[in-house]
Chain A
Amino acid sequence: MAERSFVREVEELKLGEGEIFRGEGILAITKALLQSGVSYVGGYQGSPISHLMDVLADARGVMDELGVHFESSASEAAAAAMLSASVMYPVRGAVTWKSTAGTNVASDALSNLSSGGVTGGALVIVGEDYGEGSSIMQERTHAFAMKSQMWLLTPRPNLPSIVEAVEAGFELSEASNTPVILQVGIRSCHVHGQFVAKDNKRPAFTLRQAVENPRRDVNRIVLPPAAYIHEKEKLESRWPKAIDFVRDRRLNERFGPEEGRIGLILQGGLYNGVMRALQHLGLADVYGACALPLFVLNVSYPLIDDELVAFCAGKDAVLMIEEGQPEYIEQALSLILRRHDVQTKLAGKDVLPRGGEYTSQVLGRGIGAFLDKHAPELLGNRPPVPSADAILATPEVKALAGVVPARPAGFCVGCPERPIFAAMKLVEKELGPHHVSADIGCHLFSILPPFNIGATTMGYGLGPASASAFNVEADKRPISIMGDGGFWHNGLNTSVGNAVFNRQDGVIMVVDNYYAAATGGQDILSSRAENAERSTNNSIVAAVKGVGAKWVRHVDRTYSVAKMRDTLKEALTTPEKGPKVIVASSECSLNKQRRVKPIFAKAVKNGERVVKERFGVDEDVCTGDHACIRLSGCPSLSVKHTADPLKDDPVAAIDNGCVGCGNCGEVSEAAILCPSFYKADIVFNPTKTDRWLARLRDRVIGFLQRRRDARRVSFA
């Protein structure tokens, strides 16, 4: 079950020739795959392409109708390996993941795939998670395209261009026997727009035909001497074919006037930003008219030398606009101009920042600097460019910097991972700090306040492996953390297997929340939901024991903070050597609420007796020390100013977002905090017995309270 359901949007995938598709970029790509007669699709979820996987999962009906096979791959490596179906058979396949993180994982298969080459179109759709809001290291997919010689499409960020790139990508792949990467930026993935649809196409050659009529060709396998042949093929056959195709199909685009003393060359993905920057400079309008010649690289690799030479020749200077570093295209362009002896001056990252996101403001400044140097007359009377500099310089706005709090992502209300880290904090207070190797997933939020736990994170499922150097004689053991997503992605083998084999004397905490939660709540092997399409309910504990771990503890309710604490303490202090594996399980709160809320509402409506739990704080008892918050961080556990003149500091307060997970109470109990927390059980549709008991209790308790009230001397 994914975080967001696309069942409604999937209807858009059924549109036929001439109908207008309206929706998100990701959905448009899915539609384009179906229009291209794709045979199989795989991938691994992750921002920004999670929704693509979720759409495909929800689109099973449409896919079955067309005979398209879809898989949620175990990892990007599995997805990339899946493309091997297109090596021998004329079937089109597409896989998708987050780049560059996923491309790193997939690179082994991608290298083998691109070396041997493909028969059917093979498309790798990567969501480039670069710039603001990115959750990964800032690197370029471009490097992978170059080193493995895969063609890289970077279409303009609008739906028609992206859809066309999918269709052309398959053709390019087939024409040049080379896998193709389609790179879309994080915002393009989520851009809402429209395009004119075509009919969906059934694959001409089916996977069934392929598997029943196997073919083999030893020359497509990476082994000497074939490997040497591949290299020759790449350079002498596939590359020229690709160049011919890109040129003949006119995949790159020219905008603006035919002639001009200067020109701009840009990656397709930057087109809208560049146009907005030019508009601000008075050199373009919002409908696409432009006073400067633009050369848009919808194909960033390979570059088409003669197109670029033709564009640059006769111009005084061109500006290469390329996001990310190193500036591969600028370097290549420089070589092209030199080889063709074109004397046009080349600007690029000398006027533009070397790194960082190219926002329209950044682009405007860079282009402005370029024009100032090479064609100042184009800037005309220099209309004022939109700017917030004046207001940002005022003391009032500057003062905000000290007031507006950082607000990084964090654990959700009711998150079952929070008590795990609360327990770790409690153990830390007893046994001192430990080296903690963190991993990828929601649990990585533990590195932020209030927990401040975790020293490094090396990759998905690599937490325990990244603690392996500390397998030395010492008085403290390293702790490593890994989520269930990371565990099945890579961790079982690379981390747990590795630790068992090398007798790694450390603690491995597997955070099991029943889903790949950070990527949107997709099911995985150990998910506890019954999934009609997949095999779920496979035990992490059994898997760990299966690879030979001996000391394994399962805490099947992470909210038991005291139990979590004691288990962790035991793992850190037991004389037993080798890995100590703790599997801490509780359902992801976000997904649980999504699952449970409708059921609850229905039960209430049907008049069934149901109980809703919620926590609260007795304001009078709270002394405002906020120790509970430092051990919880729950968004619904907050603070509020009080009217009590004897209290200086705000007191704790729980808002209506509380889902009654119990963490507050368990933490205050385990850490011996103040007794101000209470749990309220609200009984909906109480039974007769409920009512009778409540009346009895009210009578007795009310009598005692009235008795004491009567004796109490009070100002109020």
Chain B
Amino acid sequence: MTVHPNFPAADQPSRLSTDKPLSVAILAMGGQGGGVLADWIVAAAEGAGWMAQSTSVPGVAQRTGATIYYIELLPERDGVAPILSLMPTPGDVDVVLAAEFMEAGRSMLRGLVTPDRTTLLTSSHRSYAVGEKEVPGDGIGDPDSVVEAAGIAAKRIVAFDMQTLAEKNGSVISATMFGALAGSGVLPFAREHFEAAIRAGGKGVEPSLKAFAAGFDKVAGNDRQEIVPKAPGKDLPEPPVTVGVPALDALLARIAALPESVRPMAYAGARRLVDYQDPNYAAEYLTALEELRAEDERAGGAAKDWRFTENAAKYLAVAMAYDDVVRVADLKTRSARLPRIRREVGAKDDQILGLTEYMHPRMEEVAGTLPARLGHAIENRPKLFAALDRIVNRGRRVRTDRIHWFLALYAVAGLKRFRRGSLRHEREAEHWTRWLALARRTLPANYDLAVAILSARRLVKGYSDTHARGNSKFDRVLSAVPTLLPQAEGGAWMERLIKAALLDEEGKALDGALLTVASAYETT
């Protein structure tokens, strides 16, 4: 064995140095360039004459999974190389760099962020995990939890959207993060050392330096904690008094007669239906809404903030603006669409844009568009229907940038004027009438439950199988109405059922919730 003689005697622990390395943990997702960032930090430290050690656990974690890079930095002392750790110790980390906002949350969950010493630099952008995206409802994690936790866990927080800043500068997030790190001044190296590290990397140097500078400037001299951007608020403006078009002003006058709290939603609904069909259709909507408002009033709605009417304003508009081929064709042929897409895909002015739509019409949709009697007639002849379906039912790549395909969709959009006589319209109207009737019947007995019945319309969405599944969930949720009717908390239960129905595709959570309702009330 090799005996290393340079140790203090056991009775002289005071000879131990109290030097500590600076420790930096990077939490990133595979593919975000966390390794490059770690290399840059090492290079900057070595350039400044420090010792640096970085480690990582790449492997399969690289494929979009969450992963950690860890770096320790310390100046050499008397030619003795420090002994550096290969992994972070909770409570012992100086800087945490998180390349995504929920990863900042993960760093706190892992105990890497402590109020006595950790500076938390995080990008505030979100990259949603599969678990957040795949639920049929809204599965997105609440960023406020991270904001709140960071408020008490970190010594200092630097948070802004490093991803967008990087994209704006033609680079990737590692460069803006490196800039933010340099700008924050938590590492005792001059800006030149950081920049030299990027240059020594040799790849995409100019864009990296630009993004680095942007990140640096964003943080340097600006110690204020940025407010983390929230999801966009709902676009619910107060209705104007007039827009100068008589047909629309008539609608506005009727909206103005509704209770104040209902007006923005009724205006949103009317706007949608004018856009979807025409002012007459919106007027029909307002007529229905006025009737519902009268019933709401009788049920004491004024004291309940007119929640029934407001919810009806929302979901009746959704129901009446059902998605059909005419609507899709209309939306896909509008003049505002192309500039929007050019912006979204980042096409420059001198570039030409081709557009292909992926459509899969079935005979159901075609029959739905036909006048109701003709549609029924075809549907009642299964052989004919199947034969036609064989012709219609296939995936179609629709080139809306080409004149002939555009004309075809343009013509379909033009069928709008026949829409209200179509088979589909007949079915949809029958569906929403039945649903509204149930809500109205419930209203005098159980206000909250009636409001929740309206909310259940949220479950009807999607196309083909997905639509069928949504409809079935809608029916199953409403099947609990008789049980819940006499219960004071029936409305709350119904909201819970709706929430459960949005948790998974098959409706397993809903089944469980329905069983709970049954066991709670049916036996008593």
Q: Are B57 and A132 in contact (CB under 8 A)?
A: yes
**Is residue B236 within 8 Å, beta carbon to beta carbon, of the partner chain?**
yes
Nearest CB to that of A706 among chain B residues? B335
Q: Which chain A residues (358-382) contact chain B, with CB distance < 8 Å?
A: 359-361, 364, 380
**Is residue B381 within 8 Å, beta carbon to beta carbon, of the partner chain?**
no
- In the bound assembly, the distance between CA atoms of A614 and B128 in angstroms comes to 20
What residues of chain A lie closer than 8 Å to B227, measured between beta carbons?
A: none
**Is residue B20 within 8 Å, beta carbon to beta carbon, of the partner chain?**
yes
**Is residue A648 within 8 Å, beta carbon to beta carbon, of the partner chain?**
yes
Q: Which chain B residues (1-39) contact chain A, with CB distance < 8 Å?
A: 1-4, 6-10, 13, 15-21, 29-31, 38-39
Q: Are A391 and B115 in contact (CB under 8 A)?
A: yes
Q: Which of A289, A409, A674, A686 contacts B60 (CB 8 A)?
A: A409
Q: Are B10 and A135 in contact (CB under 8 A)?
A: no
Q: Are B135 and A386 in contact (CB under 8 A)?
A: no
What residues of chain B lie closer than 8 Å to A455, measured between beta carbons?
A: none
- In the bound assembly, the distance between CA atoms of A8 and B360 in angstroms comes to 50
Q: Are B20 and A648 in contact (CB under 8 A)?
A: no
A278 to chain B, nearest CB (A): 10
Q: Are B360 and A672 in contact (CB under 8 A)?
A: yes
What residues of chain A lie closer than 8 Å to B403, measured between beta carbons?
A: 696-697, 700-701
Q: Which of B102, B114, B128 contacts A639 (CB 8 A)?
A: B128
Q: Which chain B residues (85-123) contact chain A, with CB distance < 8 Å?
A: 85-87, 89-92, 102-103, 105-106, 108-109, 111-115
B343 to chain A, nearest CB (A): 10
A131 to chain B, nearest CB (A): 8
**Is residue A187 within 8 Å, beta carbon to beta carbon, of the partner chain?**
yes
On chain A, the number of residues with a Cβ less than 8 Å from chain B's Cβ atoms is 153
What residues of chain A lie closer than 8 Å to B128, measured between beta carbons?
A: 405, 638-639
**Is residue A682 within 8 Å, beta carbon to beta carbon, of the partner chain?**
yes
A562 to chain B, nearest CB (A): 7
A143 to chain B, nearest CB (A): 22
* Known A397-B149, A404-B105, A683-B354: A649·B345 in contact at CB below 8 Å: no
Nearest CB to that of A712 among chain B residues? B275
**Is residue A530 within 8 Å, beta carbon to beta carbon, of the partner chain?**
no
Q: Which of A285, A397, A675 contacts B19 (CB 8 A)?
A: A285
* Known A286-B83, A678-B356: A633·B16 in contact at CB below 8 Å: no
Q: Are B59 and A645 in contact (CB under 8 A)?
A: no
**Is residue B466 within 8 Å, beta carbon to beta carbon, of the partner chain?**
yes
What residues of chain B lie closer than 8 Å to A380, measured between beta carbons?
A: 13
B356 to chain A, nearest CB (A): 4
Q: Are B63 and A681 in contact (CB under 8 A)?
A: no
Q: Are A646 and B458 in contact (CB under 8 A)?
A: no
Q: Are A713 and B458 in contact (CB under 8 A)?
A: no
A231 to chain B, nearest CB (A): 29
Nearest CB to that of B361 among chain A residues? A675
Q: Which of A272, A625, A705 contacts B85 (CB 8 A)?
A: A272
* Known A396-B151, A645-B234, A645-B236: A405·B102 in contact at CB below 8 Å: yes
- In the bound assembly, the distance between CA atoms of A185 and B113 in angstroms comes to 26
A670 to chain B, nearest CB (A): 7
A686 to chain B, nearest CB (A): 5
On chain B, the number of residues with a Cβ less than 8 Å from chain A's Cβ atoms is 160
**Is residue B184 within 8 Å, beta carbon to beta carbon, of the partner chain?**
no
Q: Which of A403, A629, A635 contacts B102 (CB 8 A)?
A: A403
B101 to chain A, nearest CB (A): 10
Q: Which chain A residues (604-627) contact chain B, with CB distance < 8 Å?
A: 611, 614, 616, 618, 620-621, 623-627
- In the bound assembly, the distance between CA atoms of A386 and B130 in angstroms comes to 34
Q: Are B16 and A284 in contact (CB under 8 A)?
A: yes
What residues of chain A lie closer than 8 Å to B362, measured between beta carbons?
A: 672
**Is residue A283 within 8 Å, beta carbon to beta carbon, of the partner chain?**
yes
**Is residue A259 within 8 Å, beta carbon to beta carbon, of the partner chain?**
yes
**Is residue A186 within 8 Å, beta carbon to beta carbon, of the partner chain?**
yes
- In the bound assembly, the distance between CA atoms of A706 and B59 in angstroms comes to 55
Q: Which chain B residues (248-267) contact chain A, with CB distance < 8 Å?
A: 248, 264-265
**Is residue B462 within 8 Å, beta carbon to beta carbon, of the partner chain?**
yes
**Is residue B127 within 8 Å, beta carbon to beta carbon, of the partner chain?**
yes
Q: Are B10 and A641 in contact (CB under 8 A)?
A: no
Q: Are B102 and A396 in contact (CB under 8 A)?
A: no
Mask of B158-189 contacts with A, CB within 8 angstroms, 1/0: 00000000010000000000000000000000
* Known A284-B16, A287-B83, A623-B462: A618·B332 in contact at CB below 8 Å: yes
Mask of A404-434 contacts with B, CB within 8 angstroms, 1/0: 1111111110000000000000000100000
What residues of chain A lie closer than 8 Å to B137, measured between beta carbons?
A: 648-649
**Is residue A668 within 8 Å, beta carbon to beta carbon, of the partner chain?**
yes
Q: Are A625 and B466 in contact (CB under 8 A)?
A: yes
Q: Are B135 and A713 in contact (CB under 8 A)?
A: no
**Is residue B271 within 8 Å, beta carbon to beta carbon, of the partner chain?**
yes
Chain A to chain B contacts (Cβ below 8 Å), 6 pairs: A360-B87, A627-B466, A629-B133, A671-B465, A681-B356, A696-B403
Given A48-B57, A288-B4: 18 more A-B contacts, CB < 8 Å: A186-B59, A282-B16, A287-B82, A386-B114, A388-B114, A409-B61, A625-B466, A629-B134, A644-B234, A645-B314, A665-B356, A665-B397, A680-B341, A680-B347, A697-B402, A708-B413, A709-B335, A715-B248
